[in-house]
Amino acid sequence: MTTLTHARWSPLSMTKSLGRELLPFAVGIAVWQLLSSLNIWPPVLFPSPLQVFHAFVADLRSGALLTSLGVSLKSLGLGFLVGALIAVPLGYLMGLNRASRDFFDPLVNVMSVFFPVLHNLLTGIRTVQPVLVEAVQTLGARRMDVIAHVIFPATLPNLMTGVRLGIAFGFRSLVGGEMIASTDGIGYAIFNAQQYFQSARIVVGMLAIGITWLLMDRFILRPIEQRTTMRWGLMRDGLDNT
């Protein structure tokens, strides 16, 4: 099992996987270049890949692109940390206590888009198999032992899925917020470029967002989620009626 896991997650296999996912982008760029060469739309509305590349290099050399991305990622990390510190304890409280679940459930259902961590954690707790809890209880385990040795490991796959979704939703909301009410960040950079009809820089910002998320998801978030699932993915149906 260890050998298979190592082979599956070797740098070579991850590089091949990334290459397969980048292939559609390569085809899209080729089509983009073809359409821009036909001059169907003026360059100010439809810049060519070459124009976007030159804008990307210019923003990279000036430091403007990395500065904007750094501001956005810092805000994303801080916002997600605050949200997770609230969502994780609340999720365990609701999952393990019926009164708390009944009290908070209507609010959470209304705002489910904003709390993917909480929702996935609740799903993980509700699907813990009761037979596992009963098994450790017959061995004399107390409630805290059950939580530490059964429920917590069982909810880790769902928790990591929630983390991944939470960062995705957070990144999207952050960029939108920066476009509306901010003076820095990648969203503001896109909005500012729009004001001056710098379409190539708009595309650079869009590509920066997409590439940053792709790298985060493929090389950090998805491997952590899948490794957690491989180790702790034990749960199916469960504790919702306890």
Confidence of residue 72 (pLDDT cuts 50, 70, 90): very high
Is 238 within 8 Å of 126 (Cβ atoms)? yes
User: Tell me, what DSSP letter sits at residue 113?
Assistant: G
Q: What is the pLDDT of residue 48?
A: 93
Confidence of residue 1 (pLDDT cuts 50, 70, 90): very low
Residue 104: phi and psi, rounded to 5, are: -90, -20
- Just give the CATH number of 47-241: 1.10.3720.10
Question: pTM higher than 0.75, yes or no?
Answer: no
Tell me: the pLDDT tens digits for 178-208? 888 888 899 999 999 988 889 999 999 999 9
Residue 238 clears pLDDT 50, i.e. is over it: no
- For every residue of 62-96, DSSP letters joined together read HTHHHHHHHHHHHHHHHHHHHHHHHHHHHHHHHHH
Q: What is the pLDDT of residue 205?
A: 94
Report the distance separating Cα 47 and Cα 50, nearest Å: 8
Can you give the residue ranges of every domain in the chain?
Answer: 1-40, 47-241
Q: What is the pLDDT of residue 200?
A: 93
Tell me: the pLDDT tens digits for 120-171? 888 888 888 888 888 888 888 888 898 888 888 888 888 888 888 888 888 8
Higher-scoring residue by pLDDT: 127, 114: 127
Residue 57 clears pLDDT 70, i.e. is over it: yes
- Of the chain, the end-to-end C-alpha distance in Å amounts to 35
